[in-house]
């Protein structure tokens, strides 16, 4: 749902095997306190498409996906559950709606 929101807002553009950050996306990630230049310099793929095995939709992987994940943890918008799952916090529900129009109640 996060990747879909980034695409719908015009911050990411889908290519065959990856995503491209648009000019609007550059500004969004800057405002969201994510350093795209630093992420581009890592050894990881920058913005790779990865098929989610459970939902059968592509999500954002690579350095940018990880950078967003870290930022969401730092903001307290998500918290880790046992295994690989995360939970959206009450603060995260408000923040994701304000930042991207995501209504997390629809995720349940």
In a domain, 97, yes or no: no
Residues of the chain above pLDDT 90, percent: 83
> Tell me, what's the pLDDT at 107?
52
Helix axes 90-100, 62-75, angle to 10 degrees: 130
With 70 as the cut, is the pLDDT of residue 31 above it? yes
In a domain, 14, yes or no: yes
The whole-angstrom separation of Cα 18 and Cα 46 is: 8
In a domain, 94, yes or no: no
With 60 as the cut, is the pLDDT of residue 106 above it? no
In a domain, 100, yes or no: no
In a domain, 8, yes or no: yes
Query: Residue range 33-47: average pLDDT?
Result: 97
Helix (H) or strand (E) holding 74: helix 62-75
Q: Which domain holds residue 54?
A: 2-77
Q: Looking at the 3D structure of the chain, how many domains does it have?
A: 1
Question: Sign of dihedral through CA atoms 60, 31, 71, 98?
Answer: negative
pLDDT tens per residue across span 43-93: 999 999 998 877 778 899 999 999 999 999 999 999 999 988 899 999 999
């Amino acid at each position: 749902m996060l990747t879909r929101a980034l695409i719908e807002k015009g911050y990411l553009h889908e290519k065959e095997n990856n995503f491209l950050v648009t000019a609007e996306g550059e500004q969004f990630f800057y405002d969201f306190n994510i350093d795209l230049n630093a992420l581009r310099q890592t050894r990881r793929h920058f913005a790779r498409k990865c098929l989610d095995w459970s939902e059968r939709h592509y999500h954002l992987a690579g350095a940018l996906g990880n950078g967003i994940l870290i930022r969401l943890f730092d903001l307290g918008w998500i918290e880790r559950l046992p295994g690989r799952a995360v939970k959206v916090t009450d603060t995260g529900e408000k923040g994701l709606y304000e930042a991207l129009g995501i209504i997390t109640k629809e995720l349940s």
